[in-house]
């Protein structure tokens, strides 16, 4: 099926079925362009919460589709590929986290949204990289906190907030694999470039960065900055929006290895236009969650949305 043909078919089905497509910044260019809304985890959660669509097709990964269903139970939420998981979410198995949590009684749990719905049921407040600092700072200075599952984001928040949160030892493969040595090489070759990095990167990378922020914050920084060249330490998909908003500026992605000049999330890239068409046509791959998870995972998400 040719690209233009499948786009027409998707748009027709959207109109017929009162459906919307929500896409993360890490999706491929064609999916971002067909989506009704493109954003980072916080913006997508906010958009899902206010959507009146009968069907939400989530062009992202499993935990994102789960979050959309928890926030908006009246909509049918479809995930184009049920195997589109998340290395960070997988790094925090619920059974293991339950045991870990029991070792720290009287601790509040702040969980990064990049975790399973089951982890969210063991959480007091959910956060995203956009609002993590704000949420942590909303708590008393002497509050005892467990931060899960991303140790790099948690460590970064500890550093800039002066906290001493207990960190679960999890990470995102896409960001954790980026090496400071490669970045130093890029900086030496591009002395006129600003390094911008996502806080899921390792501390050594963040130390080198001129700006650290969530995916949406990185996008905003490149649009408002007077600089014309940027080294980007995050997933490659964000370059599409950066180039669209700043056609005269240059962007260099930090590569994940020596074989390519890219840094793609293999889970995000499992979503394709054909898969979006198929789930819309058949209304398949629906996200189904138990009443227990729907009820108990909603509480910490709502606390996040209230604070955001």
Asked whether residue 262 is assigned to any structural domain, the reply reads no
Predicted pLDDT of residue 307: 86
Residues 116 and 137 in one domain: yes
Residues 122 and 149 in one domain: yes
Asked whether residue 169 is assigned to any structural domain, the reply reads yes
Residues 96 and 79 in one domain: no
Residues 148 and 198 in one domain: no
Asked whether residue 259 is assigned to any structural domain, the reply reads no
Predicted pLDDT of residue 186: 95
Asked whether residue 263 is assigned to any structural domain, the reply reads no
Asked whether residue 165 is assigned to any structural domain, the reply reads yes
Predicted pLDDT of residue 258: 63
Residues 7 and 56 in one domain: yes
Residues 102 and 148 in one domain: yes
Q: Dig out the tokens for 32 from the structure.
A: 């971002």
Q: What whole-number distance in Å separates Cα of residue 51 and Cα of residue 187?
A: 43
Task: Give the structural domain span for 184.
Answer: 178-253
Residues 158 and 301 in one domain: yes
Residues 158 and 303 in one domain: yes
Q: What whole-number distance in Å separates Cα of residue 184 and Cα of residue 178?
A: 11
Enumerate residue ranges in the chain where pLDDT < 70. Answer: 1-2, 258-261
Asked whether the beta carbons of 295 and 114 are under 8 A apart, the reply is: no
Predicted pLDDT of residue 272: 97
Residues 73 and 101 in one domain: no
How confident is the model over 182-199, as pLDDT tens digits?
999 999 999 999 999 999
Residue 143's nearest CA partner among 168, 157, 164 is: 164
Instruction: Give the number of residues written for the chain.
Output: 308
Q: What whole-number distance in Å separates Cα of residue 98 and Cα of residue 128?
A: 21
Q: Dig out the tokens for 141 from the structure.
A: 């200075």
Predicted pLDDT of residue 308: 75
Asked whether residue 243 is assigned to any structural domain, the reply reads yes
Predicted pLDDT of residue 42: 84
pTM greater than 0.85 (yes/no): yes
Residues 242 and 225 in one domain: yes
Residue 197's nearest CA partner among 180, 214, 184, 174 is: 214
Residues 236 and 207 in one domain: yes
- In sequence order, the 6+-apart residues with CB closer than 8 A to the CB of 151 are 167, 168, 169, 170, 171
Residues 301 and 160 in one domain: yes
CATH of the domain at 189: 3.40.50.10800
Q: Dig out the tokens for 59 from the structure.
A: 């062009």
**b/e string for 14-25 if b means 16 or more Cβ within 10 A?**
beebebbbbbbb
Number of domains in the chain: 3
Asked whether residue 283 is assigned to any structural domain, the reply reads yes
Asked whether residue 258 is assigned to any structural domain, the reply reads no
Name residue, tokens 């729907």: 294
């Amino acid at each position: 099926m040719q690209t233009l043909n499948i786009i027409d078919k998707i748009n027709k089905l959207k109109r017929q079925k009162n459906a919307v497509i929500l896409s993360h910044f890490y999706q491929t260019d064609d999916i971002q362009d067909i989506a009704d809304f493109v954003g980072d985890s916080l913006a997508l959660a906010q958009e899902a919460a206010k959507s009146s669509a009968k069907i939400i097709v989530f062009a992202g990964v499993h935990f994102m589709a789960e979050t959309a269903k928890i926030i908006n139970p009246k909509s049918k939420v479809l995930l184009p590929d049920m195997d589109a998981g998340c290395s960070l979410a997988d790094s925090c198995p619920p059974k293991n986290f339950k045991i870990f949590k029991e070792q720290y009684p009287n601790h509040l749990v702040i969980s990064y949204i990049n975790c399973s719905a089951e982890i969210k049921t063991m959480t007091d407040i959910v956060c995203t990289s956009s609002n993590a600092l704000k949420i942590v700072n909303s708590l008393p200075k002497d509050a005892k906190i467990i931060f899960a599952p991303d140790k790099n984001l948690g460590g970064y928040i500890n550093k800039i907030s002066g906290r001493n949160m207990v960190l679960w030892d999890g990470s995102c493969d896409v960001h954790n694999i980026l090496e400071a040595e490669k970045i130093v090489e890029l900086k030496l070759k591009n002395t006129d470039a600003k390094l911008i990095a996502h806080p899921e990167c390792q501390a050594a990378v963040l130390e080198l960065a001129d700006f650290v922020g969530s995916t949406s914050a990185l996008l905003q920084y490149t649009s408002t900055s007077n600089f014309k060249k940027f080294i980007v330490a995050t997933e490659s998909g964000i370059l599409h929006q950066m180039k669209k908003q700043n056609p005269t500026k240059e962007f260099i992605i930090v590569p994940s290895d020596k074989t390519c000049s890219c840094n793609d999330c293999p889970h995000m890239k499992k979503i394709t236009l054909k898969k979006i068409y198929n789930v819309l046509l058949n209304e398949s791959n629906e996200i189904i969650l138990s009443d227990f998870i729907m009820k108990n995972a909603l509480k910490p998400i709502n606390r996040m949305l209230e604070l955001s």
